[in-house]
Structures are given as structure tokens and as C-alpha cells.
Amino acid sequence: MKVALGCDHGGLELKDTIAAELRKLGVEVVDEGTVSEESVDYPDFAAKVAGDVASGKVDRGITVCGTGIGMSIAANKFPGIRAALCHDSYTARMSRMHNDANILVLGGRVTGPEVALDILRDWLKTPFEGGRHQRRLDKIAELEKKGCK
């Protein structure tokens, strides 16, 4: 599996923790930055990761900002992106089983490293259930196509 990572200054430390764990698990990492504590704008990094996922350059993405909220809002503007802000293993598993989330979003200022790693491991290994959940995702894809008219 190949995973793109992106963060702003509020998510830098957690992004680096996630990158190290992914490499330990044998996952190929595309690190889209940021790489320093200097203040940056999270939409720029959400766009890089969402673009990588939407184009098929990577299988999935992970983004981290201070709360995870800005990264979720920005990434979900991209067609085909289903970015899920997760605070625990339950929401991480459900985001895969029911929503087929292709981007995991974490808040570096609200989720500690050990909880984040539990979330990460569950999110990576949980499959999508399909069935009635696919029907709902198809409806979301339709909304993207039509716009909300």
C-alpha cells in the first residue's frame, strides 16, 4: 500500500509519528509536507494529499492539522475524496466499514500519539463493507456530479 501524508505546523509532530509507524508496517509513504514548525496554510497540504488520492498516485491519504477540522473541510472539496476526522478506533473502523474513507484526518493538538497509532492501525486494516453502504456512497458521488442544486 502507498499512502500520502500531509500536515500543517499544528500537525507536524503527529505526522512524523505516523510516517515512522507506516514505514515500520512496510507501507510506502509519500510525504507531502510540511516539514518545519513554520506557520503554513492547511488547505495547501490538504490539496496535495487529496490530489494524490484522487489521481490514483497513492491508495490512501492521511492529513493532520491542529484540530483536524480544517484539513477535513478542505480535503472533502475534492471529487472522490471521503476524508474522515477520527478521534478513536471506533470512528476509524466505521469510517472504513461504512464510508470507505480514503483519507484519515487527525488533530495533532487533540489526539495523543498512542491513541493516534491505534486509530491508524485500525483504519489501515479495516475493509469497506459495501452493500447498502455502497448505495449511499453512490448517492454522494451523484451529489458531486450534479452539485447541490
Least distance in angstroms from the C-beta of 107 to ligand RB5 = 7
Radius of gyration of the chain (CA): 14
99, three cell numbers = 464510508
Helix (H, G, I), strand (E, B) or coil at 65: strand
Looking at 3, 5, 6, 8, which residue binds ligand RB5 (CB under 6 A)? Answer: 8
- Among 27, 30, 69, 97, the residue binding ligand RB5 under the rule CB under 6 A is 69
Distance CA 80, CA 88 (A): 24
Interacting residues with ligand RB5 between 38 and 67 (CB under 6 A)? 42, 65-67
Q: Is 98 a catalytic residue?
A: yes
Place of cell 480544517: 70
Which residues sit at the interface with ligand RB5, rule CB under 6 A?
A: 8, 10, 42, 65-67, 69-70
